[in-house]
């Protein structure tokens, strides 16, 4: 898939207020500073679609982007930002978890993991929570500037081993670097395939409804 158009649509803080639609949605989440904005920009081939900043914790809303007029990306606030009050952190946390649990058109959550560091407790906790709640998820390793590098490979393997302590099966994983610009083709192919199957299912549902009505 090639992203031909990517437009910022709107931001919300309450999932109940996010407009419902018929388009499949893919959400991006990770620790502050994991490289989420950079990855979204890289996937979309845009420099400033999602703000890249050195000030972690800036994105505090659910940010919606229209992609090719056929699907949506949702940029979720980075979790685990230390420099805010516990009250504020709990508020964000509730907002994110409510969105993930209650958004009907959400197809996948892309959990971003920094490939340059060993597994972090907060990431394992969050992914564990999603697993327990049967949230369809994909892991995207970020900042893998040297994809075949020893440390990168080791961090990725250790992360997978941690997941396998709890799970029987690993989720789909991708390895990317927004800086070195590699890894996006596989991610976009996955998104295209899933969006296609969403529309196919929708079509057969409609046909079935028509048949039942006649
Ligand atoms: P966010 O807070 O998760 O949205 O992260 P940003 O996209 O703002 O990136 C945080 C920092 O990581 C910035 O200084 C980026 O330049 C840097 N960064 C993002 N992607 C990469 C990458 O692929 N490789 C490297 N080396 N740095 C990256």
Write out the two tokens for 165.
Answer: 């302590």
Residue 83: pLDDT band with limits 50, 70, 90: low
More confident residue, 51 or 171: 171
Give the pairing type, strands 62-67 and 6-12. antiparallel
Residue with tokens 């006649």, as numbered in its chain: 214
Residue range(s) defining the domain that contains residue 62: 6-195
Q: Is 48 part of a structural domain of the chain?
A: yes
CA–CA separation, 123 and 140 (whole Å): 12
User: Is residue 52 over pLDDT 80?
Assistant: no
Q: Is 213 part of a structural domain of the chain?
A: no
Write out the two tokens for 173.
Answer: 């994983």
Q: Is 207 part of a structural domain of the chain?
A: no
pLDDT tens digit sequence for 157-168: 999 999 999 999
Question: How high is the pLDDT of residue 59?
Answer: 52
CA–CA separation, 116 and 3 (whole Å): 28
Q: Is 206 part of a structural domain of the chain?
A: no
Q: Is 42 part of a structural domain of the chain?
A: yes
Question: Rounded to the nearest whole angstrom, what is the distance from the C-alpha of residue 53 to the centroid of ligand 1?
Answer: 8
CATH of the domain at 181: 3.40.50.300
Question: Rounded to the nearest whole angstrom, what is the distance from the C-alpha of residue 33 to the centroid of ligand 1?
Answer: 6
User: Looking at the 3D structure of the chain, how many domains does it have?
Assistant: 1
Q: Is 201 part of a structural domain of the chain?
A: no
Nearest Cα to Cα of residue 39 among 6, 61, 70? 6
> Averaged over 25-54, what is the pLDDT?
88
CA–CA separation, 75 and 63 (whole Å): 5
Q: Is 163 part of a structural domain of the chain?
A: yes
Question: Rounded to the nearest whole angstrom, what is the distance from the C-alpha of residue 112 to the centroid of ligand 1?
Answer: 11
Question: How high is the pLDDT of residue 49?
Answer: 85
Stretch among 47-56, 111-120, 193-202, 205-214 having the lowest mean pLDDT: 47-56
Percent of the chain having pLDDT more than 70? 94
In this structure, the residue with its CA closest to atom 14 of ligand 1 is 54
CA–CA separation, 23 and 70 (whole Å): 6
Q: Is 177 part of a structural domain of the chain?
A: yes
> Averaged over 182-209, what is the pLDDT?
95
pLDDT tens digit sequence for 101-154: 999 999 999 999 999 999 999 999 999 999 999 999 999 999 999 878 899 999
- Please work out, in degrees rounded to the nearest 5, the angle formed at the alpha carbon of residue 100 by the alpha carbons of 164 and 187: 65
Q: Which atom of ligand 1 is nearest to the CA of 34?
A: 3
pTM, two decimals, is 0.93
Choose which residue among 38, 116, 120 to substitute to test ligand 1 binding: the one with the highest number of ligand atoms within 8 A of its C-beta: 38
Residue with tokens 């505090």, as numbered in its chain: 60
Question: How high is the pLDDT of residue 82?
Answer: 61
């Amino acid at each position: 898939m090639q992203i031909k158009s990517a437009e910022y649509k709107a931001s919300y803080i309450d999932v109940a207020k996010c407009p419902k639609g018929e388009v499949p949605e893919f959400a991006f989440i990770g620790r502050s500073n994991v490289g989420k904005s950079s990855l979204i920009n890289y996937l979309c081939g845009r420099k400033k679609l999602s703000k890249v900043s050195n000030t972690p914790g800036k994105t505090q809303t659910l940010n919606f982007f229209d992609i090719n007029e056929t699907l949506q990306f949702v940029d979720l606030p980075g979790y685990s930002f230390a420099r805010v009050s516990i009250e504020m952190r709990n508020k964000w946390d509730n907002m994110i978890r409510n969105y993930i649990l209650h958004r009907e058109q959400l197809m996948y959550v892309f959990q971003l993991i920094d490939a340059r560091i060993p597994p972090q407790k907060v990431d394992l906790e969050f992914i564990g929570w999603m697993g327990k709640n049967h949230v369809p998820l994909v892991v995207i390793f970020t900042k893998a500037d040297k994809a075949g590098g020893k440390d990168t490979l080791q961090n990725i393997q250790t992360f997978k081993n941690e997941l396998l302590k709890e799970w029987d099966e690993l989720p789909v994983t991708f390895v990317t670097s927004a800086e070195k610009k590699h890894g996006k083709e596989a991610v976009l192919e996955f998104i295209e395939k899933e969006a296609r199957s969403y529309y196919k299912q929708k079509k057969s549902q409609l046909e079935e409804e028509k048949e039942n009505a006649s």
